[in-house]
Structure 1
Amino acid sequence: MAFAISARMDARIVMRRGRGHGMTMLQGKVALVTGAGTGIGKGIAAMFAEQGAKVVVAARRKEKLLETCALAPHAISAVCMDLCSADDRAHAIQTVLDRHGKLDILVSNAGAQLWKTFDETTDEEIETIFSTNLSSTTRLIKSALPALEAAGGNIVIISSTAARYTLSPSQKLSVYSASKAGLNQLARTLAPKLGPRGVRINVVAPGLTRGEYADESLAQDEETLAWVRSVTPLGRAGEPADIARSVTFLASDMASWVTGQVLDASGGWQISGG
């Protein structure tokens, strides 16, 4: 009992000190967030900036990146990057190092989504999904490792609950789901390799989350959207900030003892749905 009381007192002291000195979860950290022009990536960049990080956001559409930068011009800057381009990937990483001298956090969020039944999916679409979500993401992580190792940094991959669960609406995400399942396993198998090198790697798997892709996919499918809400214990679709909070925790020193994990951020969708 005495120990418990002492621990609570220590925690209150630390919290008071943190508030007094303006400490935040990512103070002094430098992050590269891909796919950050809209949706989840944009939400992550904004929260990272709020938590004290310097953030470089990367995506293909410059105008969308500038909208993200406008959320926190003092902390967020942009670099155009096509995830599938080796030159662009290398340029993005070098840009972070040139601007900030290090890379502490890589958030691999960029990807492609496809909302189709398997029979309707073309060979070209299959190639695009796997090339973008799995192959190019894997190459980006490999390219960033020297900088992350030098900083003692970490990686957070954005996957999907559809990578592990097959209830609706996952039936229209078969190829996408398989590509994201590969990312889950990539993190698990890399964790014991990277740990001795001082680098952590984890995954956040969102459920249905509002954003450009989800809104477009479900715009004509209100029945599915209503059903997903009905089987989600928290009773709503996710917002980008919901995912950003989970990513911020895993990217911070608060999670320094966490690696190789896949964290579902879904409002409990997969529990009651299947």
Structure 2
Amino acid sequence: MLKFQNKIVVITGSGTGIGKAIAIKFAENGANIVILGRRKEPLEEAAKELEQVISRVKSNAFVKIFPGVDVSDEEGVSKMFEDLKKTHGAVDVVVNNAGVSGPVTCFANAPMSEFRSTVGIHLTGTFWTSSQAIKTMKPGSKIVTISTFFTEERPYEQRPYRFRSPYTASQGAKNRLAEAMSWEITDKGIISIATNPGPVHSDRIYKTVYPKAAAEFMRVSGFESLTPEEVESVNADILPLLGENDTIVKEGIAKAASKLSQSKSITAEADIQKLNVTISALLAKIQSIAEKVQNNTSKMIADEQFLTQQQVAETVLMLSDDNISKILNGKVIPGDRVFYPVKPHISCSIPDTQTNFSSKITVFALDATDEADVARTEFLAQKIESAGGKTVILISKTSPKIAEEKLSKFHSHVMDLTNQENVKRMLNTATQKVGPIGNIIYITGKVPQTSKLVDLTRSQWDNLVDKFINTPAIFLQESLGMFVPGGAKNPPLFKNKEGTMIIIGPDMPSGGKVSGADRARVEVFRGALRPFATTVNQELSDVLKSKLRAYLILPGSVDGTEPNNENVMRAINYLTSGKAVNNAEIIYYPDEART
């Protein structure tokens, strides 16, 4: 009998690439295969290959496809598992593989719609697929989540991935979600494991990620006679030409030159030919940089080899083994194969510093969960005003009513923090009516107490993702737009610009009886913000050459110590003083005793 005979295995994003390789590997071992994805044609082609494998191994297994199912779609995923339970019974293995590249550009230039979509597919898709699968699972079932090594290797080491901010945020949270689920479903006898395979041979890397990253480097500075906006426009036309034959490339470049000449009102044939030559050189430069990125990454691997998709499939099959999965429950396996040198982005040691707050306005944005969040905001605002500063407090309309009452003594407004246009308007209004803004501090509030994440409704989960990921990102992006008007489309404007943005929270749970499950739930969202902050800062410092910084303060400690607002204020003093701008550390644990 084959190892997974009579087992039902669901693989998301399985029409092509790694997902299809995993499906084939399980089919070779006798499993019934359920594949799903947004596009019908690749799924049908994959199903034909799977049927051939099943015929070859004589397992009598079935293949079922669910075309048009986006893992971020609540209704589609729910109906799929309802159908599977009704027609086939319990699901034995779920592999969370679906993913997208997301926007490959500086965070300041990444449309928030694409940011949300990326987080929705990678993180929410993993959450919702898992939570719905659990309803159809029996003891011994497994959930295997595929994530990335470009998030964090250890709690105190981050791995920024420039131009991929929503990707790193959602992947970091996915790792921590896999850990949190292992605590929450152990009573059901279900196992949760994640795997970070490292770089894998795939069309997504070679045809999308590396070329788009190379193209973004070109956009940031402009290329020859082309402005950043013109480079961005041309890139959209020429990137699909990579890997095509010479005829297609020449025709594509000619079309791009013609299109650009029209937007520049260029009519002389000689000038159009110059554009043709420039665009040809741009494409060659993009290809050269993409190849260099690939080569540099391979040099950080012992054998200098990316994994094959089949090797990833072997890993997933191994992690689904009954004995191995019990040993590795709750783990992220393996850490990765890449020796990726990083600077120490995290610190617990904060120098005592006194900041002059009188020269510029400090804006607080508060999405309070409870009165302690309100009290922290009141305390910090009072400290800044007593030091000669002026404050403006923007209060989320979902905050407790007491927030408006307690903070009314300050210049405060209640508003919808999730509305990007509202945020932009309020920052502009504050600048015009109160004065130039120098510091923006976003307070996330605590993670609401809940027994289990996997028991949340979809709307409850979506609210958490907005509260701790999407809305802080909106504020950060609009802050960048305020500090550097027009910088999103004209990156050279960022050079040497100054400004401080700080995200505070969420707090680690405090008290004498904090469980591992309690800590793991909070870590899902801290795990999103850490790689997000380091990625944005790498762009601001190394790519855009600015003095703008986005810091992250995470109050509380792993031993349940009550967060100390004096420690938070000390961190704010230091981070707004300008003394931290040249340091690699941008994440601070003010209540941890470690050095």
**d(CA) in 1 for partners of 2:38 and 2:308?**
22
After TM superposition, which residue ranges in structure 1, 4 or more long, deviate above 4 angstroms?
Answer: 165-168
Residue among 42, 50, 71 paired with 2:28: 50
Distance 1:89 1:136, change over 3 A: same
Residue among 48, 71, 80 paired with 1:70: 48
Query: Residue 225 of structure 1 aligns with which residue?
Result: 294
Distance 1:272 1:84, change over 3 A: closer
**d(CA) in 2 for partners of 1:86 and 1:265?**
31
User: Within the alignment, does 1:207 sit opposite 2:198 as a pair?
Assistant: yes
Deviation at 1:158, TM superposition (A): 0.9
Distance 1:116 1:242, change over 3 A: farther
Distance 1:254 1:24, change over 3 A: farther
> Which of 102-111 and 250-259 deviates more?
250-259
Residue among 128, 142, 146 paired with 1:139: 128
**d(CA) in 2 for partners of 1:212 and 1:69?**
20
User: Within the alignment, does 1:185 sit opposite 2:176 as a pair?
Assistant: yes
> Which of 73-82 and 175-184 deviates more?
73-82
Query: Residue 315 of structure 2 aligns with which residue?
Result: 246
Deviation at 1:172, TM superposition (A): 2.8
Query: Residue 118 of structure 1 aligns with which residue?
Result: 107
Residue among 227, 241, 261 paired with 2:331: 261
Residue among 84, 90, 114 paired with 2:78: 90
**Amino acid aligned to 2:315:** S
Q: Are 1:34 and 1:58, in contact at CA under 8 Å, matched by a contact in 2?
A: yes
Spell out the pairing of 1:142-161 with structure 2 (5 A cutoff): 142-148=131-137, 150=138, 152-161=140-149
**Amino acid aligned to 1:130:** V
Aligned length: 248
Distance 1:83 1:253, change over 3 A: same
Q: Are 1:26 and 1:252, in contact at CA under 8 Å, matched by a contact in 2?
A: no
Between Structure 1 and Structure 2, whose CA radius of gyration is higher? 2
**Amino acid aligned to 1:116:** T
**d(CA) in 2 for partners of 1:265 and 1:257?**
16
Deviation at 1:64, TM superposition (A): 0.6
- Can you list the C-alpha shifts for 1:148-188, whole angstroms capped at 9, x where unaligned? 1x3531100111111225557x2232220110111111111
Distance 1:121 1:264, change over 3 A: farther
TM-score by length of 2: 0.40
Q: List alignment gaps of at least 5 residues for structure 1.
A: 1-22
**d(CA) in 2 for partners of 1:224 and 1:163?**
18
Q: Are 2:9 and 2:31, in contact at CA under 8 Å, matched by a contact in 1?
A: yes
Deviation at 1:99, TM superposition (A): 4.5
Distance 1:228 1:236, change over 3 A: same
**d(CA) in 2 for partners of 1:188 and 1:265?**
14
**d(CA) in 1 for partners of 2:331 and 2:316?**
12
Query: Residue 284 of structure 2 aligns with which residue?
Result: none
- Can you list the C-alpha shifts for 1:62-83, whole angstroms capped at 9, x where unaligned? 1111121122214433111111
**d(CA) in 2 for partners of 1:235 and 1:265?**
17
TM-score by length of 1: 0.83
**Amino acid aligned to 2:328:** V
Q: For CA contacts below 8 A with separation 6 or more, give which structure has more relative contact order.
A: 1
Aligned-residue RMSD, C-alpha: 2.0
Distance 1:68 1:265, change over 3 A: farther
Deviation at 1:120, TM superposition (A): 2.7
